[in-house]
């Protein structure tokens, strides 16, 4: 899949990135190489290969330090306000995020 400079400009606009490349042809070549590598990886037959939780799992036993994914509500309003202090926008104790789906 060969990309064009127009494709890259569109991808940058959709992803909200500002590209300050002085050599747009080099950017096209680098992204083409990345996409080529992805195509090579997708072509590998992985039928019957068990997924690993860690890349070293094939060579040694790895004990993963996992915890239960449990929501921990703020203990107090002050603690919540401290957590929200760096938020760009908040409303009624919740983080506000911009809409990303057009």
pLDDT, tens digit (0-9, with 9 covering 90-100), for 15-30: 888 887 777 888 888 8
Residue 66 resides in a domain? no
Contact 74, 80 (CB under 8 A): yes
What span, in angstroms and rounded, lies between the C-alpha atoms of 44 and 32?
Answer: 19
What span, in angstroms and rounded, lies between the C-alpha atoms of 65 and 102?
Answer: 38
72-83 pLDDT, tens digit each: 776 788 888 888
Residue 100 resides in a domain? no
What span, in angstroms and rounded, lies between the C-alpha atoms of 73 and 11?
Answer: 38
Q: How many CA atoms, within 13 angstroms, populate the side-chain half-sphere of residue 64?
A: 9
pLDDT given at position 74: 65
Total domains in the fold of the chain: 1
Give the DSSP H/E element, type plus range, for residue 79: helix 77-84
Check pLDDT > 70 for residue 44: yes
pTM (two decimals): 0.47
Expressed as residue numbers, the domain containing 34 is 5-43
């Amino acid at each position: 899949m060969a990309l064009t400079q127009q494709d890259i400009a569109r991808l940058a606009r959709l992803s909200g990135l500002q590209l300050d490349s002085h050599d747009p042809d080099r950017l096209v070549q680098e992204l083409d190489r990345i996409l080529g590598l992805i195509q090579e990886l997708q072509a590998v037959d992985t039928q019957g290969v068990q997924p690993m939780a860690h890349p070293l799992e094939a060579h040694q036993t790895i004990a993963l330090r996992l915890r239960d994914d449990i929501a921990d509500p703020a203990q107090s309003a002050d603690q919540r306000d401290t957590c929200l202090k760096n938020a760009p926008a908040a409303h009624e104790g919740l983080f506000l995020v911009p809409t990303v789906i057009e």
